[in-house]
Amino acid sequence: MPRGKFTNHKGRNRRFTNPEELEEERRKEEQKKKWRQQHGDESSEESEDEQKDNEGSESGEEEESSDEEEQAKAKGVSNLIEIENPNRVQKKTKKLSTLNTADLSDKPQLSRREREEIEKQKAQAHYQKLHSEGKTDQARADLARLAIIKQQREEAKKRREAEQKEKEEAAKAKTAATQKALGKK
């Protein structure tokens, strides 16, 4: 007797059918089917089921073995409930000829970062082209700055040349004055 207040009554009154009883029930079913066939009481659905059973047994063990494998593979209630999972992606078999043509026509798929990098490079090249042609605001400002610098350098060069000429003339005038003072000429 189990200790405690809880007792489990599962399995106490189990009754198993004898294999002889099962065999007897099967024989009675076969006799009923034969009697129905003889008297024409069998419905069309039952005759179709029986024809399928007969065809399956005559076709060989190959179909039976494939049926057994399918039943063996199905675990749990998966063989009872047939529900299509919309999130499950089933791999589809493709022909080699379609794969070759599809691969050639499709461009390689790039990641977001790669696409952004390529776009950035194209934009930079386009900007450099416009900049070299002088069509951007920065290029215009640079060209204006360069024009001012060139002008300043030209003015500085002219001043230096003028100062150089003045120095030479002053030096000539001084040498002429010293020569005159010395009375050489």
Q: Which residue has the tokens 């970062």?
A: 113
CA dist 138 and 127 (Å) reads 11
| pLDDT on residue 68 | 55
pLDDT at 15: 76
The predicted pLDDT at position 148 comes to: 96
pTM flag (> 0.85): no
Whether 104 is covered by a domain: the verdict is: no
How far, rounded to the nearest angstrom, does the alpha carbon of residue 162 sit from its chain's CA centroid?
A: 74
pLDDT of residue 183: 82
Count of structural domains, the chain: 1
Per-residue pLDDT of the chain (185 residues; tens, 9 = 90+): 556 677 777 767 777 788 899 999 999 999 999 998 998 864 544 555 555 555 544 444 444 555 555 555 666 666 666 677 778 777 778 777 777 665 555 566 889 999 999 999 999 999 999 988 888 888 899 889 999 999 999 999 999 999 999 999 999 999 999 988 888 75
> Taking each helix axis from N to C terminus, what angle separates 44-59 and 19-39, rounded to the nearest 10 degrees?
120
Half-sphere exposure of 54 (CA within 13 A, CB side): 6
Task: Report if residue 83 sits inside a domain.
Answer: no
- DSSP letter string over 12-26? TT--PPPHHHHHHHH
Residue 140 lies in a domain: yes
Domain interval for residue 142:
113-182
Say if 71 falls within a structural domain.
no
Q: Is there a domain that residue 161 lies in?
A: yes
